[in-house]
Amino acid sequence: MIERGNDTAFDWRVYAGGEIPVQWYFRKDGDLPVAVQAWTIPPGASEGSHSHREDRPLEELYIVVAGEAEVTLDGEVSRLGVGDAFLAKTGVDHDVANPGAVPLTMIVVWGPPGAAIWQDYSMGRRPDEQGRAGSPVW
């Protein structure tokens, strides 16, 4: 199954006000228990500080693929560059802003938290353990 960039793009109203373009990959056709999106935040804009309620738990993983991000997690501010990531757990106040002069692009994966069992897959094991069935993950 192939999905081309911008096939399912839309503008999303962020918590800070304004809109950002979002590409939601395989929203209707995928069976993964998470949403996979590409977000583009223009220079000077932010998602807006927020948290996800305990009665509707949600975790978000943000991965920077272009530009620079300024991330606030429970009041602690960090700068992230390409290849860096952050995880916003349920109940954690968080925000991501673009302090740079070029668009910030991130892959954002979100969904309800749950247990994952990875040891049944070779990718879930350290490289030195991949040849042994049932070996533990690190």
What string of H, E and C letters represents the secondary structure of 1-64? CCCCCCCCEEEEECCCCCEEEEEEECCCCCCCCCEEEEEEECCCCECCCECCCCCCCCEEEEEE
Percent of the chain scoring above 70 in pLDDT:
87
**Which residues does 78 contact at the CB level (< 8 Å), separation at least 6?**
70, 71, 72, 86
Domain that holds residue 35: 9-129
Domain-embedded: residue 137: no
Domain-embedded: residue 80: yes
Domain-embedded: residue 138: no
Count up the domains in the chain and report the number: 1
The string of pLDDT tens digits covering residues 28-80 is: 888 889 999 999 999 999 999 999 988 989 999 999 999 999 999 999 999 99
Domain-embedded: residue 4: no
Q: What is the CB neighbour count within 10 angstroms for residue 22?
A: 17
Domain-embedded: residue 38: yes
**Which residues does 93 contact at the CB level (< 8 Å), separation at least 6?**
49, 50, 51, 72, 73, 74, 75
Model pLDDT, residue 30:
87
Please tell me the pTM assigned to this model.
0.85
What phi, psi does 70 have (nearest 5°)?
-115, 115
Q: Find the CATH number of the domain harbouring 43.
A: 2.60.120.10
Model pLDDT, residue 54:
86
Please state, in angstroms and as integers, the Cα–Cα distance from residue 127 to each residue in 90, 118, 123, 130, following that order: 31, 14, 8, 5
Domain-embedded: residue 2: no
Domain-embedded: residue 72: yes
Model pLDDT, residue 122:
67
Domain-embedded: residue 60: yes
What is the Cα–Cα distance from 43 to 99, expressed in whole angstroms? 6
Residue 132 has pLDDT above 60, yes or no: no
